[in-house]
Every structure is written in structure tokens, then in C-alpha cells.
């Protein structure tokens, strides 16, 4: 029986925003009876292994195959294997180099395991060839929105940002169903000018076209126009099976531990007690994802902005910002705020009835998780495709208030170099406390604008819940994809028998 089962390999890229949704998706496949193997290095596997063991012990066919991160070869201490561990550009470069060196080990493992399909993170373009060698489909796992993939495609194709008089002049992204305006400064630098990363990204995006299709952690009801656009104009087959996080992590323990197995949040933890003491929809949760650390100046503005807004808030900080201890002490006394250092149990917080909104960097996972909880958002994109996601929230879906973030810049480049490549000093990147107060007032206040956004967000939350139920779009897409892969397996096996004879 086991040998006949569809065997799918999942190959996550080690950064939480890519790994978390892929592990959740792998677990969904296993729950539909697929034999699932996840390939990961030791330290990365330790962040999700408990959930795999629980699934396995419940009778699902899912396991992790470990590979060795080349720590010594790249000059990193043991256990530093994830992009989120990079506290400087130098360390991140070494981590990326180590990840790239895994290709050989992975190819050997794929050859030994002889799977029926590879679901590969977008960041591994070489898995197209790996799949070709095994004569199996390669599925491109895109860990962001249809909207961002379409927007980025048309920006790369038509380059509407070229030949403008300044970097702050607006251009319209061609071919999209909504009128979406951006400035060149909001695009990733590798698109605007040729950088050392340009070739890598071009290879990544090109590999999508050479794949069997693309898997999205999104859902039809959220961005159907862009889903259609990607299938027709861009001509890429795709399946949206999200929101995967809410689908699979449906009890409090799973929610608390998702993404970090060390959390162990009990029912009477300090954080939960604090949240339980707050009225419904009164807390704003402020988190910039798993990678971004704010510059000192920015975090000062943010902390004072939140305090001045008068709203209850939870602030997640990733750096060792000493001055924040004073603010933490003060807001603890007034009971207005709660500071979380390093890693927050995000799903648990977003789903708590006291939480009424989020300040987000527009990472796609955070957006989906907020939407699933019916929360409107204050949008504060930082880098990569986050500026496109902001446009989806603010201009297309109208469930976001922008703080007016102007420059697409990886956090380390803002902090380390003061953004020299773009002739921008940190001063200009900083969002001022008054702007933060204004956005919080709109989102959390009783005005019409906030009210309407809350209603819209709640509708998306209802749709998000229905889409993963039996008969819903995402549910059906998952079943359809698995059936399709099973048919391909049968065809391949018949072909093999024919050739053997």
C-alpha cells in the first residue's frame, strides 16, 4: 500500500515566512492521505518537528529527512541555519552560501527517495532540473499573494519605472485590474538596477514558467481577479489552498507553538492574562515579521506613537533595545501595553477577542493570519514584495491604512549602511510618531472609515473559514491537485512498464 501511495517531497527555504506556510501545506497533504517527506537541516527541523511527530502518531504518513548544514565550511557556529539568525549582512551571506551548498545533498536524497512530485520553494530554481531527471512534476511554492506575483511580473516585463524624472514620481503598474500606483523607491533594488541579486531573482521567477504549476497560500475569495490574471495572461497553472495556517493549526496549543516549538504558552500565561483583561477589539498588535528589526530612531518613534495613541497595544521587538525596558515598565504600570521580546505566539494573539487590529510589515503570512481573524491592518511595508501587498490591502481590498512607508530596503541595509545606495539617510526612512498615532486612531477609533474596514475584514474572515471547509474553493483545489498528481503517477508507472517490456 505504502509503495503505491503518492509520495510528495517538500523542500522549504529556511526563513520563517517561507518555511511556516510550506510545513503547514505539507501537513495538509498528509492529512489527505499523501505520503509526505520534508527535507530540512537539523536546527530548522527542530522548529516544526513536534507538529510532524504529533501528526505521525495520529496515523498520518509524514516524516522529516535531515540533511547537514555546512556550518564549518561557511564559518558559522552550529545551529545558525536560518535567515532569521542573520544579525548582520556578513552572517546572512554565510547562511545563504550554506543553503546553496545543500543542493548536492538534496539531489542525492531525491534520487534515493524517488518521489512522485517535488514541492519546491521558489528560491530553489535548480529543482526544475532535479524533477526533470526523475521525470516528475515540480511545483513552485510561492509564499506570497497572487497580486504581488502579477504586479512584479508586469513591472519586470514593461519596466514602467524606467525613465521617470525622479525616484519619487508615481507610475501605474500596467495590465492590472485595479489602478495601482507606486514609486520606483518602493520597488526592490534588484528590479530597479542590476545588483548581485538580480540574476538569482530572475532565475527564480523563470523557474516558475518551467514548473508544472504554482501553489499559493491564498484563497479564491480574496484575490480572484489576480488568480485569474496569473492563469490567463501569465499563463501559469496554479492552485490556491490557503489560508493553510488556520486550516491546520486549529487548536490553542498548535496556535501557540506554530513556528517555534519552545513557546509553551500555558492557559494562565502573563500574556494571555493581560489579553483576557482587555475589552474586545481594543488591542493593536504590532509586529514586523520574523526578520525585520527597526533602527533605533524608528523604534523610539514607534514606541512613543503607540503610547500617545492611547490604544492598548502589544509590541514585538527583535533587537536588544535597552531604552524599551523603561517604556515596558511604564506601560506595564499603566497596563496599556505589553512588550514581547523576539518571538510572539502570533496566531494566538491575532485570534484573541481582545485584539482589534495589527500594524504589519505586509508579510503575506501575517496578512493572511490577520484576515483569518477578521482584523483590519495598518500597513508599514519594509522590503521585498511587501509594498505590493500593501497596495492590495489599501487600494484593492480597502482593509488597510497606510503609514506612508516610502523606501523598499532590507532592514540590515537601513541599519548598517544608512541606505547609501539610494542616497537616502535613515532620517527619511523613519515614520514619525504623529503618523503612527493618526493611523491607529483611524483603525481602532469609532469613525466611519475604521468601522467600514472592520466590516470588510470580518467578511474576508468568514470567507477564509468557508474556503477550507469541505466543498470550499481551497479545499477543492487541494483535492484536485492531489488527484492530478495521482493521475500523473499512474501515467508514469504505465509508461515505465511499457518501456520495461
Q: Is 115 in the site for ligand UDP (CB under 6 A)?
A: no
Shortest distance, position 475 Cβ to ligand UDP, whole Å: 21
Q: Is 317 in the site for ligand UDP (CB under 6 A)?
A: no
- Tell the residue number behind the cell numbers 524608528, with chain if given: 298
Question: Is residue 121 flagged as an active site residue?
Answer: yes
Nearer to ligand UDP, 137 or 289 (CB): 289
Q: Which stretch binds ligand UDP (CB under 6 A): 13-21, 205-213, 424-432, 458-466?
A: 13-21
Region of 68 (left: φ > 0; alpha: ψ -120 to 50; beta: rest) is beta
Single out the residue of 298, 311, 366, 379 in contact with ligand UDP (rule: CB under 6 A): 366
Region of 471 (left: φ > 0; alpha: ψ -120 to 50; beta: rest) is left
Q: Which of 326, 329, 304 is nearest to 435 (CA)?
A: 304
- H helix or E strand, kind and range, residue 26: helix 16-31
Residues in contact with ligand UDP, shown as a per-residue x/- string from 16 to 35 under the rule CB under 6 A: xx--x---------------
Beta bridge partners of 7: 35
Out of 7, 121, 189, 220, the active site residue is 121
| Rounded Cα gap, residues 131 and 137, in angstroms | 6
Q: Is 243 in the site for ligand UDP (CB under 6 A)?
A: no
Q: Is 365 in the site for ligand UDP (CB under 6 A)?
A: yes
Identify the burial level of 471 via C-beta atoms within 10 angstroms of its C-beta, where 0-12 means exposed, 13-18 middle and 19 or more buried: exposed
| Rounded Cα gap, residues 214 and 236, in angstroms | 7
What count of other Cβ atoms lies within 10 Å of the Cβ of residue 209? 12
Single out the residue of 289, 305, 400, 450 in contact with ligand UDP (rule: CB under 6 A): 289
**Residue sitting closest to ligand UDP (CB):** 17
- H helix or E strand, kind and range, residue 189: helix 189-192
Nearer to ligand UDP, 346 or 355 (CB): 346
| Rounded Cα gap, residues 207 and 210, in angstroms | 5
Q: Which stretch binds ligand UDP (CB under 6 A): 117-125, 190-198, 320-328, 357-365?
A: 357-365
Q: Which of 142, 410, 400, 373 is nearest to 280 (CA)?
A: 373
Residues in contact with ligand UDP, shown as a per-residue x/- string from 412 to 451 under the rule CB under 6 A: ----------------------------------------
What count of other Cβ atoms lies within 10 Å of the Cβ of residue 325? 12
Q: Is 316 in the site for ligand UDP (CB under 6 A)?
A: yes
Single out the residue of 356, 357, 363, 374 in contact with ligand UDP (rule: CB under 6 A): 363
| Rounded Cα gap, residues 27 and 247, in angstroms | 10
Q: Is 290 in the site for ligand UDP (CB under 6 A)?
A: yes
Shortest distance, position 147 Cβ to ligand UDP, whole Å: 14
Residues 117-156 that bind ligand UDP (CB under 6 A): none
Q: Is 291 in the site for ligand UDP (CB under 6 A)?
A: yes
Q: Which stretch binds ligand UDP (CB under 6 A): 15-23, 160-168, 297-305, 452-460?
A: 15-23
Show the cell assigned to 94: 554565510
Cβ-contact 243, 369 below 8 angstroms: yes
Q: Which stretch binds ligand UDP (CB under 6 A): 73-81, 216-224, 288-296, 486-494?
A: 288-296
Backbone phi and psi for residue 249, each to the nearest 5 degrees, phi listed first: -100, 70
Q: How many Å separate Cα 45 from the centre of its chain?
A: 18
Nearer to ligand UDP, 130 or 389 (CB): 389
Q: Is 364 in the site for ligand UDP (CB under 6 A)?
A: yes
- In 158-271 the beta strands, taken as DSSP E runs, fall at 171-172, 181-182, 213-216, 238-240
Show the cell assigned to 315: 509590541
Nearer to ligand UDP, 328 or 369 (CB): 369
Question: Is residue 42 flagged as an active site residue?
Answer: no
> Interface residues with ligand UDP (CB under 6 A)?
16-17, 20, 259, 287, 289-291, 316, 343-344, 346, 363-366, 369
Q: Any idea which residues carry the catalytic annotation?
A: 18, 121
Amino acid at each position: 500500500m505504502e509503495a503505491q501511495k503518492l509520495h510528495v517531497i517538500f523542500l522549504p527555504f529556511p526563513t520563517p515566512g517561507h518555511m511556516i506556510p510550506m510545513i503547514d501545506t505539507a501537513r495538509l497533504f498528509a492529512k489527505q492521505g499523501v505520503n509526505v517527506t520534508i527535507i530540512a537541516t537539523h536546527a530548522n527541523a527542530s522548529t516544526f518537528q513536534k507538529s510532524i511527530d504529533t501528526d505521525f502518531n495520529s496515523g498520518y504518513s509524514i516524516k522529516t529527512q535531515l540533511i547537514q548544514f555546512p556550518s564549518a565550511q561557511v564559518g558559522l557556529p552550529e545551529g545558525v541555519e536560518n535567515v532569521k539568525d542573520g544579525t548582520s549582512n556578513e552572517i546572512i551571506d554565510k547562511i545563504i552560501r550554506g543553503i546553496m551548498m545543500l543542493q548536492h545533498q538534496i539531489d542525492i536524497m531525491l534520487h534515493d527517495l524517488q518521489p512522485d512530485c517535488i514541492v519546491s520553494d521558489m528560491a530553489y530554481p535548480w529543482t526544475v532540473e532535479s524533477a526533470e531527471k526523475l521525470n516528475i512534476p515540480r511545483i513552485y511554492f510561492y509564499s506570497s499573494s497572487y497580486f504581488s506575483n502579477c504586479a512584479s511580473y508586469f513591472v519586470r516585463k514593461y519596466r514602467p519605472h524606467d525613465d521617470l524624472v525622479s525616484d519619487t514620481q508615481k507610475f501605474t503598474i500596467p495590465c492590472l485590474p485595479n489602478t495601482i500606483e507606486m514609486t520606483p523607491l518602493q520597488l526592490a533594488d534588484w528590479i530597479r538596477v542590476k545588483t548581485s541579486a538580480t540574476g538569482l531573482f530572475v532565475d527564480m521567477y523563470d523557474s516558475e514558467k518551467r514548473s508544472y504549476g504554482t501553489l499559493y497560500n491564498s484563497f479564491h475569495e480574496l484575490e480572484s481577479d489576480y488568480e485569474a490574471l496569473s492563469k490567463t495572461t501569465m499563463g501559469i497553472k496554479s492552485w490556491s489552498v490557503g489560508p493553510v495556517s488556520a486550516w491546520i493549526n486549529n487548536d490553542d496549543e498548535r496556535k501557540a507553538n506554530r513556528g517555534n516549538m519552545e513557546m509553551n504558552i500555558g492557559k494562565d500565561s502573563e500574556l494571555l492574562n493581560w489579553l483576557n483583561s482587555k475589552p474586545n477589539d481594543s488591542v493593536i498588535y504590532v509586529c514586523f515579521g520574523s526578520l525585520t528589526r527597526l533602527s533605533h530612531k524608528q523604534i523610539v518613534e514607534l514606541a512613543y506613537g503607540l503610547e500617545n495613541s492611547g490604544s492598548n497595544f502589544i509590541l514585538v521587538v527583535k533587537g536588544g533595545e535597552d531604552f524599551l525596558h523603561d517604556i515596558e515598565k511604564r506601560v506595564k504600570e499603566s497596563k496599556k501595553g505589553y512588550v514581547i521580546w523576539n518571538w510572539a505566539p502570533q496566531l494566538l494573539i491575532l485570534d484573541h477577542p481582545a485584539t482589534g487590529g495589527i500594524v504589519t510589515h505586509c508579510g503575506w503570512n501575517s496578512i493572511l493570519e490577520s484576515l483569518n481573524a477578521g482584523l483590519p491592518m495598518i500597513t508599514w511595508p519594509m522590503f521585498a514584495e511587501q509594498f505590493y501587498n500593501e497596495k492590495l490591502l489599501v487600494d484593492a481590498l480597502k482593509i488597510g491604512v497606510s503609514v506612508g512607508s516610502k523606501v523598499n530596503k532590507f532592514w540590515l541595509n537601513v541599519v548598517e549602511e544608512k541606505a547609501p545606495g539610494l542616497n537616502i539617510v535613515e532620517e527619511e526612512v523613519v515614520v514619525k510618531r504623529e503618523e503612527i498615532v493618526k493611523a491607529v486612531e483611524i483603525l481602532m477609533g469609532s469613525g466611519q472609515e475604521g468601522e467600514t474596514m472592520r466590516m470588510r475584514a470580518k467578511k474576508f474572515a468568514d470567507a477564509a473559514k468557508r474556503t477550507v471547509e469541505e466543498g470550499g474553493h481551497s479545499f477543492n483545489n487541494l483535492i484536485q491537485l492531489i488527484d492530478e498528481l495521482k493521475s500523473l503517477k499512474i501515467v508514469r508507472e504505465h509508461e515505465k512498464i511499457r518501456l520495461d517490456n
